[in-house]
Amino acid sequence: MDTYEPHIYELSAPGKHGTNLPRLDVPEAALPTALLRQDGMNDFPELTEPEVMRHYTRISQRNASPDTMMYPLGSCTMKATPKLHEEVARYAGFAAVHPLQDESLSQGALQLMYELQDYLGEISGFEAVSLQPAAGAQGELTGILAFRAYHLDRGDPDRTEVLVPNAAHGTNPATAAMVGLKVVELKSDARGNVDMDDLRAKLSPRTAGMMLTNPNTLGLFEDQIVEICQLVHEAGGLMYGDGANFNAILGIAKPGKLGFDFMHYNLHKTFTTPHGGGGPGSGAVGCTAELAPFLPGPRVRQTASGSYELFTPEKSIGRMKAFHGNFAMLVRAWTYIRTLGAAGLREVSEIAVLNANYVRVKLKDLYPQAIDRICMHETVLRGQIAGAQGIRTLDIAKRLIDYGFHPPTVYFPLIVPEALMIEPTETEGKRTLDIFIQAMRDIAREAVETPDVLHDAPTTAPVRRLDEVRAARQPILRYNAEAFAQILNER
Ligand SMILES: Cc1ncc(COP(=O)(O)O)c(C=O)c1O
Protein backbone atom coordinates (compact mmCIF):
# COMPACT_ATOMS: atom_id res chain seq x y z
CA MET A 1 0.00 0.00 0.00
CA ASP A 2 1.28 3.46 -0.81
CA THR A 3 1.55 5.54 2.32
CA TYR A 4 0.94 9.25 2.30
CA GLU A 5 3.88 11.23 3.61
CA PRO A 6 3.27 14.93 4.11
CA HIS A 7 5.52 17.08 2.00
CA ILE A 8 7.79 19.54 3.79
CA TYR A 9 5.62 22.39 2.55
CA GLU A 10 2.64 20.86 4.31
CA LEU A 11 4.59 20.52 7.56
CA SER A 12 5.73 24.12 7.38
CA ALA A 13 4.35 26.59 9.92
CA PRO A 14 5.39 30.18 10.62
CA GLY A 15 8.08 30.50 13.27
CA LYS A 16 9.38 26.91 13.20
CA HIS A 17 13.11 26.71 12.85
CA GLY A 18 15.93 24.22 13.22
CA THR A 19 18.95 26.34 13.97
CA ASN A 20 19.92 28.76 16.70
CA LEU A 21 22.24 31.46 15.53
CA PRO A 22 25.13 32.21 17.92
CA ARG A 23 25.07 35.41 19.91
CA LEU A 24 26.35 38.39 17.91
CA ASP A 25 29.99 38.94 18.85
CA VAL A 26 30.80 41.78 16.45
CA PRO A 27 29.37 45.30 16.34
CA GLU A 28 25.97 45.32 14.71
CA ALA A 29 26.12 46.81 11.23
CA ALA A 30 23.29 48.77 9.73
CA LEU A 31 22.66 47.40 6.24
CA PRO A 32 21.22 49.84 3.71
CA THR A 33 17.49 49.19 3.30
CA ALA A 34 17.98 48.83 -0.44
CA LEU A 35 20.06 45.68 0.16
CA LEU A 36 17.57 44.03 2.48
CA ARG A 37 15.30 41.39 1.01
CA GLN A 38 11.74 42.67 1.09
CA ASP A 39 9.90 39.58 -0.19
CA GLY A 40 10.40 36.05 -1.49
CA MET A 41 11.25 34.47 1.87
CA ASN A 42 7.76 33.04 2.15
CA ASP A 43 8.66 30.54 -0.56
CA PHE A 44 10.85 28.66 1.91
CA PRO A 45 9.23 26.14 4.24
CA GLU A 46 9.74 26.71 7.98
CA LEU A 47 10.59 23.45 9.75
CA THR A 48 12.22 21.97 12.79
CA GLU A 49 15.49 20.10 12.61
CA PRO A 50 13.92 16.61 12.99
CA GLU A 51 11.48 17.37 10.18
CA VAL A 52 14.27 18.40 7.83
CA MET A 53 16.34 15.40 8.93
CA ARG A 54 13.49 12.97 8.30
CA HIS A 55 12.71 14.52 4.92
CA TYR A 56 16.22 14.16 3.55
CA THR A 57 16.89 10.79 5.14
CA ARG A 58 13.60 9.46 3.75
CA ILE A 59 14.22 10.64 0.21
CA SER A 60 17.80 9.35 0.31
CA GLN A 61 16.42 5.91 1.20
CA ARG A 62 14.21 5.97 -1.87
CA ASN A 63 17.20 6.13 -4.14
CA ALA A 64 18.33 3.01 -5.90
CA SER A 65 22.12 3.00 -6.06
CA PRO A 66 25.10 0.65 -5.99
CA ASP A 67 25.42 1.71 -2.33
CA THR A 68 22.15 -0.02 -1.53
CA MET A 69 21.78 -2.90 -3.97
CA MET A 70 23.30 -4.82 -6.86
CA TYR A 71 22.70 -2.63 -9.90
CA PRO A 72 23.28 -4.77 -13.02
CA LEU A 73 22.23 -2.10 -15.53
CA GLY A 74 23.87 -3.33 -18.72
CA SER A 75 26.02 -0.92 -20.71
CA CYS A 76 25.90 1.56 -17.81
CA THR A 77 28.57 -0.15 -15.65
CA MET A 78 27.09 0.73 -12.27
CA LYS A 79 30.06 -0.51 -10.27
CA ALA A 80 30.64 0.39 -6.64
CA THR A 81 32.03 3.88 -6.13
CA PRO A 82 34.86 3.73 -3.57
CA LYS A 83 34.46 6.19 -0.71
CA LEU A 84 38.17 7.00 -0.81
CA HIS A 85 37.44 8.89 -4.05
CA GLU A 86 34.91 11.05 -2.27
CA GLU A 87 37.44 11.90 0.40
CA VAL A 88 40.10 12.87 -2.14
CA ALA A 89 37.65 14.93 -4.23
CA ARG A 90 36.83 16.87 -1.07
CA TYR A 91 40.42 17.87 -0.28
CA ALA A 92 40.34 21.64 -0.04
CA GLY A 93 43.06 21.99 -2.67
CA PHE A 94 40.78 20.30 -5.20
CA ALA A 95 37.31 21.26 -3.96
CA ALA A 96 38.06 24.96 -3.43
CA VAL A 97 40.25 25.60 -6.47
CA HIS A 98 38.70 28.25 -8.72
CA PRO A 99 38.78 27.64 -12.47
CA LEU A 100 39.83 31.24 -13.11
CA GLN A 101 42.66 31.07 -10.57
CA ASP A 102 46.08 31.83 -12.02
CA GLU A 103 47.83 28.75 -13.41
CA SER A 104 50.76 29.33 -11.06
CA LEU A 105 48.36 28.83 -8.14
CA SER A 106 46.68 25.72 -9.60
CA GLN A 107 49.71 23.58 -10.30
CA GLY A 108 48.47 20.60 -8.25
CA ALA A 109 45.14 20.49 -10.07
CA LEU A 110 46.83 20.88 -13.45
CA GLN A 111 49.32 18.12 -12.61
CA LEU A 112 46.44 15.80 -11.79
CA MET A 113 44.79 16.58 -15.14
CA TYR A 114 48.08 16.12 -16.98
CA GLU A 115 48.68 12.74 -15.35
CA LEU A 116 45.11 11.61 -16.03
CA GLN A 117 45.50 12.52 -19.73
CA ASP A 118 48.69 10.48 -19.72
CA TYR A 119 47.21 7.44 -17.94
CA LEU A 120 44.13 7.34 -20.18
CA GLY A 121 46.32 7.59 -23.26
CA GLU A 122 48.54 4.76 -22.02
CA ILE A 123 45.63 2.47 -21.07
CA SER A 124 43.95 2.91 -24.47
CA GLY A 125 46.91 3.32 -26.82
CA PHE A 126 46.09 6.87 -27.91
CA GLU A 127 48.55 9.73 -28.37
CA ALA A 128 46.46 12.60 -27.03
CA VAL A 129 43.60 13.03 -24.56
CA SER A 130 41.18 15.86 -23.80
CA LEU A 131 39.29 15.82 -20.52
CA GLN A 132 36.66 18.34 -21.66
CA PRO A 133 33.47 16.41 -22.55
CA ALA A 134 30.91 15.92 -19.81
CA ALA A 135 29.47 12.57 -20.95
CA GLY A 136 29.92 9.72 -23.38
CA ALA A 137 27.40 11.27 -25.73
CA GLN A 138 29.32 14.56 -25.67
CA GLY A 139 32.54 12.64 -26.32
CA GLU A 140 30.87 11.16 -29.41
CA LEU A 141 29.88 14.64 -30.57
CA THR A 142 33.47 15.77 -29.99
CA GLY A 143 34.83 12.88 -32.06
CA ILE A 144 32.51 13.28 -35.01
CA LEU A 145 33.05 17.07 -35.05
CA ALA A 146 36.79 16.33 -35.09
CA PHE A 147 36.33 13.84 -37.99
CA ARG A 148 34.41 16.47 -39.93
CA ALA A 149 37.05 19.12 -39.22
CA TYR A 150 39.83 16.71 -40.25
CA HIS A 151 38.24 15.91 -43.61
CA LEU A 152 37.50 19.58 -44.31
CA ASP A 153 41.06 20.49 -43.35
CA ARG A 154 42.35 18.02 -45.95
CA GLY A 155 40.11 19.53 -48.60
CA ASP A 156 37.81 16.49 -48.62
CA PRO A 157 34.34 18.01 -48.00
CA ASP A 158 32.29 15.23 -49.61
CA ARG A 159 32.73 12.74 -46.78
CA THR A 160 29.26 13.08 -45.35
CA GLU A 161 28.32 9.56 -44.25
CA VAL A 162 28.85 7.80 -40.92
CA LEU A 163 28.43 4.03 -40.73
CA VAL A 164 26.70 2.82 -37.56
CA PRO A 165 25.84 -0.83 -36.76
CA ASN A 166 22.17 -1.56 -36.06
CA ALA A 167 23.10 -2.74 -32.54
CA ALA A 168 24.58 0.67 -31.63
CA HIS A 169 23.49 2.87 -28.75
CA GLY A 170 21.09 5.60 -29.85
CA THR A 171 23.63 8.31 -29.11
CA ASN A 172 25.78 7.09 -32.05
CA PRO A 173 23.33 7.83 -34.88
CA ALA A 174 22.02 10.87 -33.00
CA THR A 175 25.55 12.27 -32.87
CA ALA A 176 26.20 11.81 -36.58
CA ALA A 177 22.86 13.47 -37.35
CA MET A 178 23.67 16.39 -35.01
CA VAL A 179 26.88 17.04 -36.90
CA GLY A 180 24.81 17.18 -40.09
CA LEU A 181 26.10 13.89 -41.48
CA LYS A 182 24.08 11.04 -42.94
CA VAL A 183 23.72 7.86 -40.87
CA VAL A 184 24.23 4.64 -42.83
CA GLU A 185 23.06 1.61 -40.86
CA LEU A 186 25.06 -1.63 -40.91
CA LYS A 187 23.60 -5.07 -40.35
CA SER A 188 24.82 -7.48 -37.69
CA ASP A 189 25.70 -11.06 -38.65
CA ALA A 190 24.45 -14.27 -37.04
CA ARG A 191 27.31 -14.16 -34.51
CA GLY A 192 26.26 -10.71 -33.32
CA ASN A 193 29.16 -8.91 -35.02
CA VAL A 194 29.30 -6.38 -37.83
CA ASP A 195 28.22 -7.99 -41.10
CA MET A 196 31.42 -7.68 -43.13
CA ASP A 197 29.70 -7.97 -46.54
CA ASP A 198 27.32 -5.17 -45.61
CA LEU A 199 30.27 -3.08 -44.43
CA ARG A 200 32.17 -3.59 -47.69
CA ALA A 201 29.05 -2.71 -49.69
CA LYS A 202 28.43 0.52 -47.81
CA LEU A 203 31.95 1.94 -47.67
CA SER A 204 32.47 4.63 -50.30
CA PRO A 205 34.28 7.91 -51.04
CA ARG A 206 31.44 9.52 -49.03
CA THR A 207 32.43 7.67 -45.84
CA ALA A 208 33.54 10.12 -43.14
CA GLY A 209 33.94 7.33 -40.63
CA MET A 210 32.39 4.51 -38.67
CA MET A 211 31.22 4.42 -35.05
CA LEU A 212 31.67 1.12 -33.26
CA THR A 213 31.40 -0.10 -29.70
CA ASN A 214 33.84 -2.91 -28.87
CA PRO A 215 32.90 -5.09 -27.05
CA ASN A 216 29.65 -4.28 -28.79
CA THR A 217 26.24 -3.72 -27.27
CA LEU A 218 25.51 -7.45 -27.37
CA GLY A 219 28.38 -7.83 -24.91
CA LEU A 220 30.46 -9.55 -27.61
CA PHE A 221 33.96 -8.83 -28.83
CA GLU A 222 34.12 -7.76 -32.48
CA ASP A 223 36.74 -10.33 -33.44
CA GLN A 224 37.17 -8.87 -36.95
CA ILE A 225 38.01 -5.48 -35.50
CA VAL A 226 41.44 -5.16 -37.11
CA GLU A 227 40.00 -5.90 -40.55
CA ILE A 228 37.06 -3.53 -39.95
CA CYS A 229 39.47 -0.69 -39.12
CA GLN A 230 41.62 -1.48 -42.15
CA LEU A 231 38.64 -1.46 -44.52
CA VAL A 232 37.38 1.88 -43.16
CA HIS A 233 40.84 3.42 -43.43
CA GLU A 234 41.35 2.10 -46.97
CA ALA A 235 38.10 3.84 -47.91
CA GLY A 236 39.49 7.10 -46.47
CA GLY A 237 37.27 7.05 -43.37
CA LEU A 238 38.09 7.26 -39.66
CA MET A 239 37.17 4.86 -36.84
CA TYR A 240 35.29 6.15 -33.81
CA GLY A 241 35.33 3.89 -30.75
CA ASP A 242 32.38 4.16 -28.39
CA GLY A 243 34.23 3.41 -25.16
CA ALA A 244 31.15 2.65 -23.06
CA ASN A 245 32.28 -0.97 -22.77
CA PHE A 246 35.95 -0.30 -22.07
CA ASN A 247 35.49 -1.98 -18.68
CA ALA A 248 35.85 -5.34 -20.44
CA ILE A 249 39.32 -4.85 -21.90
CA LEU A 250 41.41 -2.77 -19.49
CA GLY A 251 45.02 -3.91 -19.63
CA ILE A 252 44.09 -6.53 -22.23
CA ALA A 253 43.45 -4.69 -25.51
CA LYS A 254 44.26 -1.11 -26.51
CA PRO A 255 41.70 0.39 -28.93
CA GLY A 256 44.35 2.76 -30.33
CA LYS A 257 46.46 -0.25 -31.32
CA LEU A 258 43.48 -2.13 -32.78
CA GLY A 259 42.99 0.66 -35.33
CA PHE A 260 40.55 3.12 -33.72
CA ASP A 261 41.32 6.79 -34.35
CA PHE A 262 39.23 8.37 -31.61
CA MET A 263 37.39 7.11 -28.55
CA HIS A 264 35.53 8.41 -25.53
CA TYR A 265 36.05 6.99 -22.07
CA ASN A 266 33.04 7.08 -19.79
CA LEU A 267 34.92 7.95 -16.61
CA HIS A 268 31.57 7.53 -14.86
CA LYS A 269 31.42 3.89 -15.95
CA THR A 270 34.83 2.29 -16.42
CA PHE A 271 36.65 4.60 -14.02
CA THR A 272 33.95 4.42 -11.36
CA THR A 273 33.01 8.07 -10.96
CA PRO A 274 29.43 8.20 -9.65
CA HIS A 275 26.63 8.61 -12.15
CA GLY A 276 22.92 8.25 -12.63
CA GLY A 277 20.12 10.64 -11.87
CA GLY A 278 21.64 13.10 -14.33
CA GLY A 279 24.66 13.66 -12.13
CA PRO A 280 27.87 15.00 -13.57
CA GLY A 281 29.68 12.57 -15.81
CA SER A 282 32.92 12.76 -17.74
CA GLY A 283 33.37 11.59 -21.30
CA ALA A 284 37.07 12.32 -21.77
CA VAL A 285 38.33 11.53 -25.29
CA GLY A 286 41.54 10.09 -26.72
CA CYS A 287 42.81 10.07 -30.30
CA THR A 288 45.73 9.50 -32.66
CA ALA A 289 48.48 12.10 -33.25
CA GLU A 290 46.84 12.91 -36.60
CA LEU A 291 43.60 14.03 -34.92
CA ALA A 292 45.20 15.64 -31.86
CA PRO A 293 45.27 19.16 -33.39
CA PHE A 294 41.46 19.06 -33.56
CA LEU A 295 40.84 18.16 -29.91
CA PRO A 296 38.83 20.56 -27.75
CA GLY A 297 40.80 22.71 -25.34
CA PRO A 298 42.00 23.55 -22.90
CA ARG A 299 44.32 20.58 -22.49
CA VAL A 300 47.24 20.47 -20.07
CA ARG A 301 50.93 20.17 -21.02
CA GLN A 302 54.18 20.27 -19.13
CA THR A 303 56.64 23.07 -19.86
CA ALA A 304 60.43 22.67 -20.12
CA SER A 305 60.76 23.86 -16.52
CA GLY A 306 58.46 21.08 -15.31
CA SER A 307 55.43 23.24 -14.52
CA TYR A 308 51.99 22.69 -16.04
CA GLU A 309 50.04 24.98 -18.36
CA LEU A 310 46.81 25.00 -20.29
CA PHE A 311 46.79 25.16 -24.09
CA THR A 312 44.34 24.89 -26.93
CA PRO A 313 45.33 22.69 -29.90
CA GLU A 314 46.00 24.67 -33.10
CA LYS A 315 43.00 23.48 -35.15
CA SER A 316 40.74 22.81 -32.16
CA ILE A 317 37.03 22.32 -32.77
CA GLY A 318 36.63 24.64 -29.75
CA ARG A 319 35.39 24.12 -26.24
CA MET A 320 32.89 21.41 -25.39
CA LYS A 321 32.38 22.40 -21.76
CA ALA A 322 32.87 25.38 -19.51
CA PHE A 323 36.27 25.70 -17.83
CA HIS A 324 38.12 22.37 -17.47
CA GLY A 325 35.45 19.68 -17.72
CA ASN A 326 33.91 18.11 -14.62
CA PHE A 327 37.04 18.47 -12.53
CA ALA A 328 35.85 16.62 -9.41
CA MET A 329 35.16 13.56 -11.61
CA LEU A 330 38.71 13.76 -12.93
CA VAL A 331 40.01 13.63 -9.35
CA ARG A 332 37.99 10.49 -8.66
CA ALA A 333 39.13 8.74 -11.87
CA TRP A 334 42.78 9.63 -11.16
CA THR A 335 42.41 8.19 -7.65
CA TYR A 336 40.92 4.99 -9.05
CA ILE A 337 43.76 4.47 -11.51
CA ARG A 338 46.41 5.26 -8.90
CA THR A 339 44.81 2.94 -6.34
CA LEU A 340 44.60 -0.05 -8.69
CA GLY A 341 47.69 0.37 -10.85
CA ALA A 342 48.16 -1.48 -14.13
CA ALA A 343 47.74 -4.98 -12.68
CA GLY A 344 44.63 -3.96 -10.74
CA LEU A 345 42.97 -2.48 -13.81
CA ARG A 346 43.54 -5.67 -15.77
CA GLU A 347 42.03 -7.65 -12.90
CA VAL A 348 38.95 -5.37 -13.02
CA SER A 349 38.24 -6.50 -16.57
CA GLU A 350 39.05 -10.14 -15.94
CA ILE A 351 36.61 -10.32 -13.04
CA ALA A 352 33.96 -8.27 -14.85
CA VAL A 353 34.06 -10.77 -17.75
CA LEU A 354 34.12 -13.77 -15.41
CA ASN A 355 31.12 -12.48 -13.45
CA ALA A 356 29.06 -11.85 -16.58
CA ASN A 357 29.77 -15.31 -17.92
CA TYR A 358 28.93 -16.89 -14.57
CA VAL A 359 25.50 -15.23 -14.63
CA ARG A 360 25.02 -16.13 -18.30
CA VAL A 361 25.77 -19.82 -17.81
CA LYS A 362 23.59 -20.07 -14.68
CA LEU A 363 20.57 -18.48 -16.39
CA LYS A 364 20.70 -19.52 -20.02
CA ASP A 365 18.49 -22.60 -19.54
CA LEU A 366 15.60 -20.33 -18.45
CA TYR A 367 16.37 -17.09 -20.27
CA PRO A 368 17.47 -17.66 -23.89
CA GLN A 369 20.71 -15.94 -24.87
CA ALA A 370 20.54 -13.33 -27.63
CA ILE A 371 23.59 -14.99 -29.19
CA ASP A 372 24.99 -18.29 -27.94
CA ARG A 373 28.58 -17.19 -27.32
CA ILE A 374 30.95 -16.49 -24.47
CA CYS A 375 30.34 -12.88 -23.55
CA MET A 376 32.54 -10.07 -22.35
CA HIS A 377 31.55 -7.91 -19.34
CA GLU A 378 27.79 -8.14 -19.93
CA THR A 379 25.36 -10.70 -21.23
CA VAL A 380 22.23 -10.11 -23.28
CA LEU A 381 19.44 -12.58 -22.52
CA ARG A 382 15.80 -12.57 -23.58
CA GLY A 383 12.83 -12.37 -21.23
CA GLN A 384 11.01 -15.09 -23.17
CA ILE A 385 10.45 -17.80 -20.56
CA ALA A 386 9.19 -21.15 -21.85
CA GLY A 387 5.60 -21.80 -20.71
CA ALA A 388 4.97 -18.26 -19.44
CA GLN A 389 1.88 -16.61 -20.91
CA GLY A 390 1.66 -12.84 -21.32
CA ILE A 391 4.95 -12.12 -19.55
CA ARG A 392 7.26 -9.49 -20.95
CA THR A 393 10.79 -8.47 -20.06
CA LEU A 394 9.36 -5.41 -18.33
CA ASP A 395 7.43 -7.64 -15.89
CA ILE A 396 10.59 -9.55 -15.02
CA ALA A 397 12.50 -6.31 -14.49
CA LYS A 398 9.80 -4.91 -12.19
CA ARG A 399 9.62 -8.13 -10.18
CA LEU A 400 13.38 -7.97 -9.58
CA ILE A 401 12.78 -4.76 -7.61
CA ASP A 402 10.69 -6.78 -5.13
CA TYR A 403 13.66 -9.11 -4.73
CA GLY A 404 15.90 -6.15 -3.84
CA PHE A 405 17.75 -5.69 -7.12
CA HIS A 406 17.89 -2.80 -9.53
CA PRO A 407 16.65 -4.16 -12.88
CA PRO A 408 19.05 -4.81 -15.75
CA THR A 409 18.83 -2.73 -18.92
CA VAL A 410 15.75 -3.74 -20.89
CA TYR A 411 14.81 -3.58 -24.58
CA PHE A 412 18.34 -2.62 -25.61
CA PRO A 413 19.98 -3.38 -28.00
CA LEU A 414 16.93 -2.83 -30.18
CA ILE A 415 17.76 -5.77 -32.47
CA VAL A 416 17.12 -8.29 -29.65
CA PRO A 417 13.45 -9.01 -28.92
CA GLU A 418 12.62 -8.71 -25.19
CA ALA A 419 16.27 -7.93 -24.39
CA LEU A 420 17.55 -8.17 -20.81
CA MET A 421 21.09 -6.84 -20.67
CA ILE A 422 22.85 -7.85 -17.45
CA GLU A 423 26.16 -6.31 -16.40
CA PRO A 424 27.09 -7.52 -12.90
CA THR A 425 30.47 -5.65 -12.88
CA GLU A 426 33.56 -6.82 -11.05
CA THR A 427 32.50 -5.27 -7.77
CA GLU A 428 29.92 -7.98 -6.99
CA GLY A 429 31.10 -11.10 -5.18
CA LYS A 430 29.99 -14.67 -5.86
CA ARG A 431 27.56 -14.72 -2.93
CA THR A 432 25.63 -11.72 -4.28
CA LEU A 433 25.68 -13.11 -7.81
CA ASP A 434 24.22 -16.38 -6.51
CA ILE A 435 21.40 -14.54 -4.74
CA PHE A 436 20.69 -12.59 -7.93
CA ILE A 437 20.71 -15.76 -10.03
CA GLN A 438 18.33 -17.44 -7.58
CA ALA A 439 16.00 -14.43 -7.77
CA MET A 440 15.97 -14.64 -11.57
CA ARG A 441 15.24 -18.37 -11.40
CA ASP A 442 12.44 -17.84 -8.86
CA ILE A 443 10.94 -15.16 -11.10
CA ALA A 444 11.02 -17.54 -14.08
CA ARG A 445 9.02 -20.06 -12.01
CA GLU A 446 6.54 -17.38 -10.89
CA ALA A 447 6.16 -16.29 -14.53
CA VAL A 448 4.75 -19.72 -15.34
CA GLU A 449 2.86 -20.50 -12.10
CA THR A 450 1.63 -17.10 -10.83
CA PRO A 451 2.07 -14.59 -13.67
CA ASP A 452 -0.05 -11.92 -11.93
CA VAL A 453 2.62 -11.59 -9.27
CA LEU A 454 4.86 -10.29 -12.05
CA HIS A 455 2.15 -8.14 -13.62
CA ASP A 456 1.52 -6.46 -10.25
CA ALA A 457 5.20 -5.88 -9.45
CA PRO A 458 6.76 -3.97 -7.87
CA THR A 459 4.85 -4.19 -4.62
CA THR A 460 7.62 -3.34 -2.16
CA ALA A 461 8.96 -0.14 -3.78
CA PRO A 462 7.93 3.34 -2.55
CA VAL A 463 5.82 3.67 -5.71
CA ARG A 464 4.11 1.00 -7.75
CA ARG A 465 4.43 0.60 -11.51
CA LEU A 466 4.79 4.01 -13.09
CA ASP A 467 3.27 5.38 -16.23
CA GLU A 468 6.77 5.71 -17.69
CA VAL A 469 5.73 7.70 -20.75
CA ARG A 470 3.93 10.25 -18.60
CA ALA A 471 6.80 10.38 -16.12
CA ALA A 472 9.19 11.21 -18.97
CA ARG A 473 6.93 13.54 -20.93
CA GLN A 474 5.14 15.34 -18.11
CA PRO A 475 7.51 15.27 -15.15
CA ILE A 476 6.45 17.28 -12.10
CA LEU A 477 9.71 18.86 -11.07
CA ARG A 478 8.50 21.22 -8.33
CA TYR A 479 6.16 20.81 -5.40
CA ASN A 480 2.67 21.37 -6.67
CA ALA A 481 -0.15 20.70 -4.21
CA GLU A 482 -2.83 20.30 -6.90
CA ALA A 483 -0.79 17.85 -8.98
CA PHE A 484 -0.01 15.82 -5.86
CA ALA A 485 -3.67 15.64 -4.89
CA GLN A 486 -4.61 14.56 -8.40
CA ILE A 487 -2.04 11.74 -8.41
CA LEU A 488 -3.24 10.51 -5.02
CA ASN A 489 -6.85 10.58 -6.25
CA GLU A 490 -5.99 8.55 -9.32
CA ARG A 491 -4.55 5.73 -7.23
C1 LIG B 1 27.05 1.90 -25.67
C2 LIG B 1 26.83 3.29 -25.15
N3 LIG B 1 27.29 4.33 -25.87
C4 LIG B 1 27.13 5.59 -25.43
C5 LIG B 1 26.50 5.88 -24.25
C6 LIG B 1 26.35 7.32 -23.84
O7 LIG B 1 27.10 7.60 -22.70
P8 LIG B 1 26.66 8.74 -21.66
O9 LIG B 1 25.43 8.22 -20.95
O10 LIG B 1 27.84 8.91 -20.79
O11 LIG B 1 26.34 9.97 -22.46
C12 LIG B 1 25.99 4.83 -23.48
C13 LIG B 1 25.28 5.09 -22.21
O14 LIG B 1 24.81 4.25 -21.53
C15 LIG B 1 26.17 3.50 -23.93
O16 LIG B 1 25.72 2.47 -23.22
What is d(CA 83, CA 426) in angstroms, rounded to the nearest whole number?
17
pLDDT classification of 3: cutoffs 50, 70, 90: low
Confirm or reject CATH 1.10.1660.10 for domain 84-339, answering yes or no: no
Cα dihedral across residues 44, 49, 55, 60: positive or negative: positive
Q: Is the pLDDT score of 229 beyond 50?
A: yes
pLDDT in tens, 399-449: 999 999 999 999 999 999 999 999 999 999 999 999 999 999 999 999 999
Closest residue CA from atom 8 of ligand 1: 136
pLDDT in tens, 298-309: 999 999 999 999
> Which residues contact ligand 1 via a Cβ below 6 A?
75-76, 135-137, 169, 171, 213, 217, 242, 244, 266, 281, 283
Find the mean pLDDT for residues 148-174.
98
What's the pLDDT at 1? 42
Find the mean pLDDT for residues 318-344.
96
Q: Is the pLDDT score of 162 beyond 60?
A: yes
- The angle formed by the CA atoms of residues 483, 485 and 486, to the nearest 5 degrees, is 65
What's the pLDDT at 284? 98
Report the chain's mean pLDDT, rounded to a whole number. 94
pLDDT in tens, 368-400: 999 999 999 999 999 999 999 999 999 999 999
What is d(CA 163, CA 185) in angstroms, rounded to the nearest whole number?
6
For the chain, the domains span: 84-339
Alpha carbon 12 to chain centroid distance?
A: 38
**Closest atom of ligand 1 relative to the 269 alpha carbon:** 10
263: CA distance to ligand 1 center in Å?
12
pLDDT classification of 4: cutoffs 50, 70, 90: low
Which DSSP helix (H) or strand (E) runs through 485? helix 481-490
CB crowding 451-467: b at 16 or more within 10 Å, else e: beebbebbeeeeeeeee
Q: Is the pLDDT score of 87 beyond 70?
A: yes
**Closest atom of ligand 1 relative to the 412 alpha carbon:** 16
pLDDT in tens, 107-151: 999 999 999 999 999 999 999 999 999 999 999 999 999 999 999
**Closest atom of ligand 1 relative to the 138 alpha carbon:** 11
pLDDT in tens, 230-248: 999 999 999 999 999 999 9
Pocket test for ligand 1, best of 266, 271, 411, 414 (most atoms within 8 A of CB): 266
CB 420 within 8 A of CB 382: yes
171: CA distance to ligand 1 center in Å?
7
pLDDT classification of 277: cutoffs 50, 70, 90: low
Of 188, 212, 189, 192, nearest to 372 by C-alpha is: 192
276: CA distance to ligand 1 center in Å?
12
Alpha helices in 364-409 (DSSP H): 393-402
N-to-C CA span, the chain: 10
**Closest atom of ligand 1 relative to the 217 alpha carbon:** 1
348: CA distance to ligand 1 center in Å?
20
**Closest atom of ligand 1 relative to the 268 alpha carbon:** 10
392: CA distance to ligand 1 center in Å?
25
Find the mean pLDDT for residues 70-85.
96
Find the mean pLDDT for residues 325-354.
97
Alpha carbon 347 to chain centroid distance?
A: 21
What's the pLDDT at 59? 85
What's the pLDDT at 45? 87
Closest residue CA from atom 9 of ligand 1: 136
